[in-house]
Every structure is written in structure tokens, then in C-alpha cells.
Amino acid sequence: MMEIPYSLILACEALSKTFIKTCQTLLLHICNCIISRQAVEHGWDFPRATLLTVLILRGPRRLTSSFLEWKGNSMASVLSRRLGKRSLLGARVLGPPGAAPPSEPQTELLEGAAPQPFVASKDPSCQEQPKEVLKAPGTSGPQLVAFHPGQKVCVRYGGQESTGLVERHSWAEDKVTVWLLDQKLQICCKAEEVWLAEPPGRSPRVPPPEQGTQAPAYRPVSRNIDVPKRRSDAVEMDEMMAAMVLTSLSCSPVVQSPPGGEANFSASRTACDPWKESGDVSDSGSSTTSGHWSGSSGVSTPSPPHPQASPKYLGDAFGSPQTDNGFETDPDAFLLDEPAPRKRKNSVKVMYKCLWPSCGKVLRSIVGIKRHVKALHLGDSVDSDQFKREEDFYYTEVQMKGEAAAAGGPTADPAPTPSVTSPPLTILPPPPPPKAQSSGPDHPGLESYLPSGALSKSAPGSFWHIQADHAYQALPPFQIPVSPHIYTSISWAAAPSSASTLSPVRSRSLSFSEPQQPPPAMKSHLIVTSPPRAQSTTRKARGEAKKCRKVYGIEHRDQWCTACRWKKACQRFLD
């Protein structure tokens, strides 16, 4: 089930601290990417990759059977909890399903113990290891060292020991090409004939077998898989090497079996971007390990990252040493814990929130949030596309309740309708009062939920009504006034009485019963324009036009327009 190239595991064993650091960085990105749905879609093999991540960051010895039997969620938590460890050397892959995890973590080895022979298990998950790694049966090999180009080694040549520099180390053939300093020639010999030129105070040879954990079931490590001492700083593993691991990581061993030249981390390898090469989450991904995702909820359905996953993850990965008691799962731990994608209610708006610690910015679009994360938080690292899509990891969806609805009190129409159709025909009566709480002293109907001056709350400028102020004998602009009181509006009939009280802005036409005035009504056709928003919350702004009162004076009240007389909005002198 876990298709981890064995060589890779072994390779992980051989990593220097520097390399580990590099891997941590890179693998973080891997995991981040993997976890994201895109990664899945692009064929990343999450289990394998994460396993490797764990291997590298924590040390393979922690790979208990339970771990190997991981399914989906638990792995997530494993990752989140375990990534803090980064011990490599002396780690073991523990074995057969059912085997108990090693009771004793060997963390200490990390800090200076001698390298451990690598022990692998017969776990089915390892069955697909590349052959060249699987073959070696002997644990007794003198030396399990990976030779790196440039490394100073001793070699038995011509019956004597000579020193030389490693040219390359082919794991596949178990051969090491060494440039002999003495003879100034290049030889190719078996790996076991070569050993590291000893840096002072260090033994090139394999340390004593690891205590205890070596159950019979464990498949011994091939001795041509070299496990250099952790402190073998002779060759600094650089990022390129990390990249190579990651490159391998992104490919199924079945499809791409790591050739020996690759496994030995030959420096001749170009230092090209591994993600581009084979692992770019966004573009390729060579193979998927089928079935690994099947257990998790995230397979086929979009699943946004767990809100807290990233910070947690980061924190764990780089920080805290933690007690290491196996791979128990942590329910809230990781991304894949996320259940099925949330359903969105119609009234709920989905926003995207930045998860970067103490940021919390919320944006409306994915693009926006990605840009934000990238620009503000990932800024330095994103210059290379290496880490592209990492930003996927640092935001999450949040759902916002409709703001308008929240403010609108009892209104039942929270849905804003920003678009307005052609004004003259747009008569949108509000929905009928949800409940007749208008009973009692209140007016029946609308007024109960349209408190004075509060129209815009229920309909925030999104729709408005055209009304002929019936009561004041106004005419709808598009009416042909047959008689002052005879007009019909198509939609008017639908909401005859309510509209007049609803309209925040009214279109007025001159009352035909008031003969004396020229028709400003003509322009009022289009006065039906958008309501002034600022005013919508209060009563209508006082118009500048003179009103009947002013024109005729209070003493000629009889000449006022009806509306004025009734203390309503003047119908004659429109604003």
C-alpha cells in the first residue's frame, strides 16, 4: 500500500542535517501541495510522499505498522504531530503489520550516536521497492555508506589501501568509482571495498546493530545502501539533493524506478527545479497510487484545507520536540480531517480567510486570497515557482452571513438584488409581510416592517418602486392620463396599495387635477432614477424646489396641490 521506493527511504537515512533542513523546507511544500486538492488531481501520491516526509523529518524508525496502515485522516494527524522530529540516522522502518511500534524512540541517536544500520521491514508496503535496493540480504556488510562525489575515501586497490575521491557511486551496481589520488587513476570497485577516509574521531564503519528493534521479520538492509554517519559533513547535501529526493518522491516507484545513479545523489545531476522536472503539483505529477485516497473524504470532492492546519503544521514541523508515542491519530489534527465539503446556503457568502498567524484577512475571491498570501506572507519564497500553490494552504473558506440581512431587522428579504431592470417597469413590491405582526395598533401590512425611514434596510438601494402617488392624484409617468384617477400600471395592479408607502423615492407626476402648472412630470419619467443611497435611510431630502406653501402662501392654501394640503410630498413642484 505504501509505495515508497525503498531506496528513497534509505536515502533519507543518509541525509545530513543540512539536507534534512532543506528537506524540511521542501517537504513542507510537498505536503502542503499534496494536501491540497489540486495536488490530488495532479496525481500526487500523498501517502507515499508524506511517509517520506515523515521519514525525513522524523526518522523512519517511527514508521510503525499502524502508520503504514494509515488511511487518510490519521495520516494527517500523524503528520501534524510528528513532523517535528527530524532524526534520521539510526532510524528504522518498523515492520510487519501488527508489529508494535518500537517502544523506545531513538531520538538520541540523532544527536550524535553512531549511525545505525538500516533495517527495513517486510511490510507489504515495501514490496515495490526498486530491486536494486531490495536485493542485498546481508546486514553484515562492512559499510553502509553512501558515497558522494568528492568524498574522500579509502579503497583497497592493488593489495593496498589507497585514498581517493569518490567520483560516483552507483547504487544499482554497488560500485563506486574512485579517483585515486596516489595513482592518479580512476577505478571502479565494489562498494564494500571502499570506505570513508576517516575524519578524526569518527568511525567510518557501521555502528553496532541497533538495539532491540531488530525483529526477525525485518528485512535487513541492503548493504549497498549506505548510511553515512549523521555527521558526515564531508559532503554537504544541498538543496539539489533534496530536490532529487522530492523528485523521486513525486513519482511512483512503479513507474519510475530510481536508477542507481540517481540514488546516489550524484552531484552531476543538474540542479534543476525538481518541481518542474517531475513534481510540480500544478502541472504534472507522474502517477497516482491508486486507492490511497479512497479512504479519505477528500478524494473526489473539493475540500478546502483545514482552517488551522497550516499553522499547526508548520509549528509542528519545525518546532516542538514532542513526545513520541507512536502514530496515534489526532482528531483535529489535519487537513484531511475535514469532512465533506460544506454546503453553502444561498444566503451565505463564501469568503476566503487568510490563515497566516495573526493575519486573518478575509477576501472574497480565491484569487485574491492567493495573491494576498503569496504577496504578504510567502513573499520571499515564492519567487521561484518551486513553491507555487503553497498559498493554497494558507487560506480557508469562511462563510459570511448576509450582512444586509443582519441589519435589516425583521425583514424577510435579505437578498440584495443589485441589478435593476428597466425602471419604468420595475415595480418590486417587497415580499408580503412575513408574519402579520402588524396586527394591533400598527398598520396592517408593510408599515410594520418598514419603519419610517428604514426602507433601505430591507431593500438597500437595490430596488425601488415607481409609483403614482395615487392618493395625491399623481400619475405614473408612463400612463396616459385619461382621467386623473384612471390609470393602470401593469405591475401596479399587483401591489396597489403597498407601493406608495414603500417607495423611498417616488416618481411624481403632476396631478391633473391641478391644472395650472406646466408638466415637470415629463422629466419625472426618468426621475425614476436610482434612489440616492445616502438618503435612503432617512426621510427624503427636502427638495430645493419651491412648494405650494411657499408659492401660494399659507393663506392660499386652497391653491396648493393636494399633497401639500395633506402634508404630503408636493406633487406640483417636484424637486
Partner DNA sequence: ATTGCCGGGCG
Partner DNA sequence: CGCCCGGCAAT
Question: What residues make contact with DNA under the rule CB under 7 A?
Answer: 441-443, 447, 450-455, 470-471, 473, 485, 496-497, 501, 506, 538-543, 546-547, 549-550, 554, 562, 564-570, 575
Q: Are 476 and 467 in contact (CB under 8 A)?
A: yes
Task: Report, in Å, the least distance between residue 81 CB and DNA.
Answer: 59
Spatial distance between the Cα atoms of 248 and 275, rounded to a whole number of angstroms? 10
Backbone angles phi, psi at 33, to 5 degrees: -65, -40
Task: Report, in Å, the least distance between residue 473 CB and DNA.
Answer: 7
What's CA 38's distance to the chain center, in Å? Answer: 9
In the bound state with DNA, the residue whose beta carbon lies nearer, of 56 and 574, is 574
Residue 343's contacts (CB-CB under 8 Å, 6 or more residues apart) are none
In the bound state with DNA, the residue whose beta carbon lies nearer, of 473 and 524, is 473
In the bound state with DNA, the residue whose beta carbon lies nearer, of 300 and 529, is 529
DSSP 381-442: TTTSGGGTTGGGGGEEEEEEE-HHHHHTTT-S----------GGG---PPPPPSS-TT-TTS
In the bound state with DNA, the residue whose beta carbon lies nearer, of 93 and 505, is 505
List the grid coordinates of 13: 537515512
Task: Report, in Å, the least distance between residue 411 CB and DNA.
Answer: 14
10 Å CB burial of residue 480 (0-12, 13-18, 19+) is: exposed
Task: Report, in Å, the least distance between residue 567 CB and DNA.
Answer: 3
DSSP 207-276: PPPPSS---TTSEEPPTTS----TT-TTS---HHHHHHHHHHHTS-TTTSPPPHHHHTT-TTS----HII
Spatial distance between the Cα atoms of 425 and 478, rounded to a whole number of angstroms? 9
Spatial distance between the Cα atoms of 27 and 266, rounded to a whole number of angstroms? 20
Spatial distance between the Cα atoms of 335 and 341, rounded to a whole number of angstroms? 12
In the bound state with DNA, the residue whose beta carbon lies nearer, of 494 and 541, is 541
Please name the residue ranges forming H helices in 36-158: 37-41, 46-58, 65-68, 73-82, 107-110, 131-134
Residue 68's contacts (CB-CB under 8 Å, 6 or more residues apart) are 1, 2, 51, 97, 123, 125
Task: Report, in Å, the least distance between residue 451 CB and DNA.
Answer: 7
In the bound state with DNA, the residue whose beta carbon lies nearer, of 189 and 551, is 551
In the bound state with DNA, the residue whose beta carbon lies nearer, of 161 and 442, is 442
In the bound state with DNA, the residue whose beta carbon lies nearer, of 205 and 549, is 549
What's CA 126's distance to the chain center, in Å? Answer: 31
In the bound state with DNA, the residue whose beta carbon lies nearer, of 140 and 538, is 538
Cell 500553490, located at residue: 389
Spatial distance between the Cα atoms of 7 and 9, rounded to a whole number of angstroms? 5
Spatial distance between the Cα atoms of 492 and 426, rounded to a whole number of angstroms? 10
Spatial distance between the Cα atoms of 158 and 163, rounded to a whole number of angstroms? 12
Task: Report, in Å, the least distance between residue 533 CB and DNA.
Answer: 14
In the bound state with DNA, the residue whose beta carbon lies nearer, of 357 and 409, is 409
